[in-house]
Amino acid sequence: MKVIETALNGLVLLEPTVFKDARGEFCETFNARRFAALIGREVNFVQDNRSFSLPGVLRGLHYQHAHPQGKLVQVTQGAVWDVAVDLRRSSPSFGQWYGVTLSAENRRQLWIPEGFAHGFLALQDGAEFCYKVSDYWHAGDEYCIRWDDPALAIAWPLTGEPVLSDKDRQGVSLAEAPLF
């Protein structure tokens, strides 16, 4: 697995090694020992999640505060533009965002440590988005930062208005959000 460092402290892009032959292909998507060696610590994933989104659906920017989740995200069908925002006040990359295309074709994964908000925009083919989390979902601890907060100025690759859930329409600004 190839590790691609990002400009945000602790946020890592992973590119699996793909083995191809006449039968098709194989790649290892997760190995606890290798993952711990790559990020420098062990992570106990407790839950796997999957969502399917039609093109133009924007989900996020979500996070939990009292029960922060580290997330290992990947796309198994279609493509997304994935975004992580550093909410850790003590981090040198606090308040900065990173965006990258994740797709079934490029097989890339993004490790998003605890203390980040996360969101994505489903691109042309719709997207099956799969991810592991390091803590359980707690309904009363879920927060949402506005996808279009001018303080973040995220350059979403939109071709029109995104499709949003009611929860995501009610997101708050970074200035109003509980931080780490």
Active-site annotation holder among 63, 131, 138, 143: 131
For residues 9 and 13, give the distance between their C-alpha atoms in angstroms, rounded to a whole number: 12
Is 119 in contact with 83 (CB distance < 8 Å)?
Answer: yes
Tokens representing 81 are 């533009």
CB atoms within 10 A of CB 88: 19
Dihedral angle computed from the Cα positions of residues 158, 8, 29 and 168, in that order, rounded to the nearest 10 degrees: -40
Active-site annotation holder among 62, 63, 98, 118: 62
For residues 137 and 133, give the distance between their C-alpha atoms in angstroms, rounded to a whole number: 9
Work out the burial of residue 105: count CB atoms within 10 Å of its CB; fewer than 13 is exposed, 13-18 middle, 19 or more buried.
exposed
- Does residue 131 have an active-site annotation? yes
167 phi/psi in degrees, rounded to 5:
-60, -45
- Does residue 62 have an active-site annotation? yes
Provide the annotated active-site residues: 62, 131
